[in-house]
Chains A and B, each alone.
Chain A
Amino acid sequence: MSAPAIEPKKVAFKLSDRVVGTTDLRRILHELETIDDFLYQANLRPPGTSLPPPKTTKLLADLFEHNGAQILDRRSRENMLTVLKKLAAKAPVMHISFAVEANPVFIEKIVAWARKNINPYVLLDVGLQPSVIVGCNLRTTNKVFDMSLRNRFDTSKYILNEKIEKMGKTGDGNG
């Protein structure tokens, strides 16, 4: 029996799947503030004055691209800053742990699923937990979801017990 499908909310601002957790969000927020400061200072300086441009990552460019905004447009930057600050303060955060370090593509798929099914602005802090071995461990605000294979076996052990009991009875009958 499958759970009733939850319709994804339609949102004006779309958070890129590459922005995974709070670290990424803070980083792009910091980059955006740096760029904003740089452009502001560049406007104040006389023309022809050299000013080293700030280093940015592809994340910020993707974010603007996904939302159809221009990074050079001051209003767009202000809106983006406001949204990002709001997200940094209020976006739901989940901690997900795997046995080994996950590659970006894999994380992106998990994030895409979470933003599609849980919350469009959910942030995933990825961690390591070798004891998980297979599966993952998800921690939300108040709960911990053990999605490891061990837990799956533990919850399904009655099936194995039944099988073993059947085998034992069959063995006793034969013996």
Chain B
Amino acid sequence: MSDLVSTILIVGSLASATLAFIWVSLRLGGERKDDGKDTYTSAADAAVEHIFNDEFREELRNRGRLHFEKIIGENAMFLQQDLRLTTSQINEYMKQEITKTLQEAFKKYEESITDAKEVALSSIQKTQASVEEQRQVMEEQLKKAIDLEKKQLLGRFENNMADIVNHYVLSAIGNEISLDDQLEYILAELERNKKDIISDIESGA
């Protein structure tokens, strides 16, 4: 800021000097009137040339260059600061936007997951109910089949009980039972049927 003021002061001083010089030259020129008009002009030019010589111009150029560079540097700094600020704001904004978008996406995803979960649960419950129903039906069918099989087996066993017992008795005793061993049984059976035998023989004779 001080550089700017100094620059303004310098430019102002230069301008006032120039104006003073012009006023002096005009004053001098007016006093001489017509005859010394060209002499004043050349004297002004010489004075201008004398003040604004090459060194002074070079000095002005250098000052201007430095001032320009300073301004450029300051502006670059400001621009950098603005850029950083903007970047940080953009980052913040992006963060917020991304977070918002992600939250929305997550919310939607969560909702879709919840829906899918409900659908899956509903499907599982339906399947479970169906499986349970089928299990009950199968259980009833199996029970009926087992009962039927049991009845058939029992019926078959009862019908063929004599053969079965006979088979097992024979398996147990093998071929060891001879007719002599059977004599007592046979005589007992004959005795048991004696009456019928006699009756048949007497009636059929």
Please list the residues of chain A having a beta carbon within 8 angstroms of any beta carbon in chain B: 3, 6, 90, 92, 94, 98, 100, 102-103, 106, 109-110, 113-114, 117-119, 122, 133-136, 138, 140-143, 145, 147, 149-154, 157, 160-161
Contacts and interface: CB of A to CB of B under 8 A. Distances in A.
Given A3-B195, A134-B170, A153 B201 contact: no
Interface in B159-178: 161-163, 165-166, 169-170, 177-178
B165 A98 contact: no
Contacts of B169: 134, 149
A136 B162 CA distance: 16
B4 interface: no
B201 A157 contact: no
B190 A138 contact: yes
A113 to B, nearest CB: 6
B interface, over-half SS? helix
B204 A140 contact: yes
Given A92-B201, A143-B200, A136 B158 contact: no
A58 B165 CA distance: 44
Interface residues of B, number: 31
Nearest to A114: B190
Interface string B186-205: 11011101111110110111
Contacts of A6: 194, 198
B5 interface: no
B183 interface: yes
A133 B179 contact: no
Given A92-B205, A142-B203, A161-B158, A135 B194 contact: no
24 contacts: A6-B194, A94-B197, A100-B179, A103-B179, A109-B187, A110-B187, A110-B190, A114-B190, A117-B198, A118-B198, A118-B201, A119-B198, A133-B170, A134-B177, A134-B182, A135-B189, A136-B182, A136-B186, A140-B197, A141-B203, A142-B204, A150-B162, A150-B166, A154-B162
B194 A117 contact: yes
Contacts of B190: 110, 113-114, 117, 138, 147
